[in-house]
C-alpha cells in the first residue's frame, strides 16, 4: 500500500482496534487512526463513513473497521461507491475476499472474534493480493452498481 491504512472503530470495537494497531506497528504497516479514542458510546456509522469516504474518493487504498460484530460497519461502508467491505470470520475467507473480491475494507467484530483470530485475519487480508483475471471482471460489475 502506498497510502496509510485507515483505521476506525466504535466503542464496542475500541479494544480490538487498539490491539490490532499494535499488530500493524509490528508489521510496519503505516496507518492512521480516525477514532474513536475511548469506550464511550458512539454511533458506528460516523466512523465507518470516515474510512469509506476516503477509500471511495481514492484518498486511501484500504481501511480497517471494528465494531461489535463488524456487520454494521460493513453495511455502512458498502454504501459508498468503490468500497468493498468484507467481514471474514476465518483466515480463508479473508484470503478469498482479497484474492477474488478485491475487498478494500476489512470489518471485524470486537465481540465476535478473539484478538488472536482477528490478528490472523488481518495479516492474511493485508498480505493477499487481488488475483485479477476473471475476478477483475466481477469486481468491475460490483463497482458498477449504484
Residues annotated catalytic, as ranges: 67, 100
- Position 135 scores a pLDDT of 86
Number of domains composing the chain: 1
Say if residues 141 and 134 touch (Cβ distance below 8 Å). Answer: no
Structural domain containing residue 57: 5-144
> Which cell numbers in the block locate residue 29?
504497516
- The side-by-side arrangement of strands in the sheet containing 5-9 is 31-33, 5-9, 63-67, 105-109, 85-86
Q: What pTM does this model have? A: 0.96
CATH number, position 14: 3.40.1400.10
- Provide the residue-wise pLDDT of the chain in tens; the chain has 146 residues: 789 999 999 999 999 999 999 999 999 999 999 999 999 999 999 999 999 999 999 999 999 999 999 999 999 999 999 999 999 999 999 999 999 999 999 999 999 999 999 999 999 999 999 988 888 888 888 888 75
Amino acid at each position: 500500500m502506498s497510502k496509510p491504512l485507515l483505521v476506525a472503530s466504535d466503542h464496542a470495537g475500541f479494544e480490538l482496534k487498539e490491539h490490532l494497531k499494535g499488530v500493524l506497528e509490528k508489521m510496519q504497516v503505516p496507518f492512521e487512526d480516525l477514532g474513536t479514542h475511548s469506550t464511550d458510546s458512539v454511533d458506528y456509522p460516523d466512523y465507518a463513513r470516515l474510512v469509506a469516504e476516503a477509500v471511495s474518493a481514492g484518498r486511501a487504498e484500504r481501511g480497517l473497521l471494528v465494531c461489535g460484530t463488524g456487520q454494521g460497519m460493513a453495511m455502512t461502508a458498502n454504501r459508498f461507491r468503490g468500497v468493498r467491505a468484507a467481514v471474514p470470520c476465518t483466515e480463508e475467507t479473508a484470503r478469498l475476499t482479497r484474492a477474488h473480491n478485491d475487498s478494500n475494507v476489512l470489518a471485524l467484530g470486537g465481540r465476535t472474534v478473539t484478538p488472536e483470530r482477528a490478528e490472523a485475519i488481518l495479516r492474511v487480508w493485508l498480505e493477499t493480493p487481488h488475483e485479477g483475471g476473471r475476478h477483475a471482471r466481477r469486481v468491475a460489475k460490483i463497482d458498477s452498481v449504484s
